[in-house]
Amino acid sequence: MLVEAEELTRVYAMGDTVVEALRGVSLRIASGDYLALVGPSGSGKSTLMHLLGGLDRPSSGRLVIDGQDVASLNRNQLARLRNTAIGFVFQSFHLLPRTSAVENVALPLVYRGVPARTRRQRAAAMLGQVGLAHRLDHRPSQLSGGEQQRVAIARALVTGPSVVLADEPTGNLDSATGQAVLHLLEQQGAASGAALVLVTHDHEVAGRAHRQVMLRDGLVVS
């Protein structure tokens, strides 16, 4: 099992107010899973994704990612887990604006200490797999929205992650481009055996997943 979450809670203090973003969520994700986290705004979808990606820690409960209990990891160990096991695809791409496509994709490999020539080779190969072999040295401003999202997908996959987390990956794209990006995510996920987790408001997007997890008020309701 890649991810085991048991009775996760996440509580935020906002001044004198306590916000219970998650109130006891349990979830299991295996290799090759394809699931969508759905629910209205404020349901806890993004909070859960941040926990599953090791970007935040639960207030209580047990969370094991790729065999490692998050509670037992220090800050550096958690960062290493993110780099080795998790690939992130964000709605707003989060590409470095003054950096070429190939350098953006190679960035996670820098933190692994991969030599520069090998980084470029692996990043270029990954861009080739997402159909951008001809755009290696273009900066984000020279790419369309769909191309920027493909660069973001290549960056998420270049480390060979166990889990790919995509937060509204089609939110900034037109319908046709969004469909192409989803197909690419599905294709690459299936080829690598990685679990694919989408956070989405779009019922059509969620309908493509093999499993839908509906959240409401910080709880899994179905």
**52 CB neighbour count, 10 Å cutoff:** 26
pLDDT in tens, the chain (222 residues): 899 999 999 999 888 899 999 999 999 999 999 999 999 988 999 999 999 999 999 999 999 999 999 999 999 999 999 999 999 998 889 999 999 999 999 999 998 899 999 999 999 999 999 999 999 999 999 999 999 999 999 999 999 999 999 999 888 888 888 899 899 899 988 888 899 999 998 889 999 999 999 999 999 999
Residues of the domain holding 154: 3-220
Provide the number of structural domains found in the chain.
1
Cα–Cα distance measured from residue 80 to residue 70, given in angstroms and rounded to the nearest whole number: 12
Cβ-in-10-Å burial (0-12, 13-18, 19+) of 41 comes to exposed
Using CA atoms, how far apart are residues 169 and 25, in angstroms rounded to an integer?
Answer: 23
CATH number for the domain spanning 78: value is 3.40.50.300
pTM value > 0.75: yes
Residue 90 near residue 49 (C-beta atoms within 8 A): no
Report H helices in the chain: 45-52, 75-85, 101-110, 116-129, 145-157, 175-192, 203-206
The H or E element that residue 55 is part of is none
**Which residues have C-beta within 8 Å of that of residue 51, sequence separation ≥ 6?**
5, 8, 10, 22, 57, 58, 63
* Amino acid in the structure at residue 1: M
